[in-house]
Amino acid sequence: MQSADQYPAELTDAQRRHFSEHGYVRLRGVLTTDEIAMLRQAMARAQSSFELSPNSYNVTVAADSVWNHEAVDDRGPVKHDLAALAAAIRAYDLPRLADPPADGGTRGNFLLDTGVWRRVPELAKFALGEKIAGFSAQLLNVPAIRYYDDQMFIKEAGAVDRAAFHQDLPYFHLDGNCGCVFWIPLNSVRAGGGRVGYIPGSHRWHKMFKANVFISELPFPGAEGETMPQIEANPEAYGVQYLEAEPGDVLVHHFLTVHGSEGNRSNTLRAAFSLRYCDAELRYRHRPGAPAQPQHKTGLKDGDPLDDDIHPIVWPKTRRTGKGASNFEIAA
């Protein structure tokens, strides 16, 4: 891992080329020990206020209520109509995606939260800083970068729910696809411990798939796009590449790259922040079936500019304009 004074300001040609060709890249050891320590502090702060967040969600508890007909945990907010999801899952006869638990292992929860930077100053300072934003500008080949949002993903030890293969763009109310996601693990991620898997080149399929409910291949009712192929049934046929990672590494993928994740069968926590950046010129577009973005103002119309206070320009500090050179054309 590199110290701050050794950190290269520019990504290598090989890193940029890998992202362009495959739709993802692993940036090894680009975070310093101080940055990792700060992000762990941010994670601890976010966890301590998890149940108070209006955007937090216990995926495991919600899935139990749908598939096992258990009572819904009402200690936190419920973002989706679980009764409607249960009816849809029964109608389509789709299974819950989960890996088999380890022998003798405990059962953990899969937790997520959105917009964490709004209540955790440490994360806000990092997310809005120039380092990751500068990486985004290089990978997307655009002159100005906007911060879109974040999510916190925690798979406790024994949280064996998988994340179904999906693209990120169908969940975002944006009018274009020129954006990337930085997945930042705060602990070692090994096989069976919640690795992220990518389909190389899927960002160039010229397709957009329906947003799904994350732990099942069931699309959200009313979601636009094509139905995602059943990748879980035959990942080898699609060339899925699962990546291991260490603290200090960052995994980056394009908004259109198809990806999913394993369950965490290990006896250790898998915690990660997901930070999203896009071409500053992208505007609002409502996507039917996609979850509401918690920070968006009401009354936005297709084509409206994004609010700079909610989605600030982070690169460069003095705004410049330009059309995203890597804005791939897709079938709507």
The pTM of the full predicted model, rounded to 2 decimals, is 0.90
- Provide the CATH number for the domain around residue 124: 2.60.120.620
For residue 91, tell me if it sits in a domain: yes
Residue 325 lies in a domain: no
Report CA-CA distances (Å) from 90 to 67, 83, 99, 221: 9, 11, 20, 14
Give the model's confidence band at 88: pLDDT under 50 very low, under 70 low, under 90 confident, else very high. low
Confidence of residue 44 (pLDDT cuts 50, 70, 90): very high
pLDDT digits 0-9 by tens, 162-202: 999 999 999 999 999 999 999 999 999 999 999 999 999 99
Residue 323 belongs to some domain of the structure: no
In a domain, 313, yes or no: no
Domain residue limits at 36:
16-294
Residue 190 within any structural domain of the chain: yes
Report the domain count for the chain: 1
Establish if 203 belongs to a structural domain.
yes
Instruction: Tell me if 317 is assigned to some domain.
Output: no
pLDDT tens, residue by residue, 281-313: 999 999 998 887 767 777 889 999 999 999 999
Structural domain contains residue 107 = yes
Q: What is the pLDDT of residues 212-266, one digit of tens each?
A: 988 889 898 889 999 999 999 999 999 999 999 999 999 999 999 999 999 999 9
